[in-house]
Amino acid sequence: GAGVSQSPSNKVTEKGKDVELRCDPISGHTALYWYRQSLGQGLEFLIYFQGNSAPDKSGLPSDRFSAERTGGSVSTLTIQRTQQEDSAVYLCASSLAIREGRGDTQYFGPGTRLTVL
């Protein structure tokens, strides 16, 4: 009965480096969401997956951000050429996505705290 897991829990990197953040959703959950939580911006939506496809990438802040999901399970969020403003907690959530998905509960992981020096 594992919940959503994320790794690493903490990541410190230097400006300009690339980072990969991983999310393991709850088994059987077809929908997967990435959010970012920062002091200045609060909780922001980044991207949504239904299965392996991403119908909504509207929240990705720049083309340095990308994400993929394979096998309808694990997802990776990649940030290229990191900047200091990318420092935040990156949260992943998953849901069953029955019906249209609006009322489904999203279960959140503990997050990855990214610090860009």
Partner 1 sequence: AQSVTQLGSHVSVSEGALVLLRCNYSSSVPPYLFWYVQYPNQGLQLLLKYTSAATLVKGINGFEAEFKKSETSFHLTKPSAHMSDAAEYFCAVSHAGGTSYGKLTFGQGTILTVHP
Q: Give the integer Cα–Cα distance in Å for 26 and 28.
A: 6
Q: Which is nearer to partner 1, 14 or 103 (CB)?
A: 103
7 lines the binding site for partner 1 (CB under 8 A): no
Question: Which member of 51, 61, 66, 104 binds partner 1 (CB under 8 A)?
Answer: 104
Q: In 10 A of CB 72, how many CB atoms?
A: 16
CB-count exposure of residue 88 (10 Å: 0-12, 13-18, 19+): buried
97 lines the binding site for partner 1 (CB under 8 A): yes
Question: Which member of 67, 86, 106, 114 binds partner 1 (CB under 8 A)?
Answer: 106
Of 14-22, 41-49, 62-70, 79-87, the window that binds partner 1 (rule: CB under 8 A) is: 41-49
Q: Which segments of 17-100 does DSSP mark as H helices, in order?
A: none
Question: Which member of 51, 61, 72, 110 binds partner 1 (CB under 8 A)?
Answer: 110
Per the CB < 8 A criterion, the answer to whether 116 and 87 are in contact is: yes
43 lines the binding site for partner 1 (CB under 8 A): yes
Q: Which neighbouring-strand residues pair with 32?
A: 49, 94
Which secondary structure element, helix H or strand E, spans residue 67, and what is its range?
Answer: strand 65-69
Which residues are near partner 1 by CB under 8 A?
4, 31, 33, 35, 42-43, 45, 48, 50, 55-56, 58, 91, 93, 95, 97, 100-111
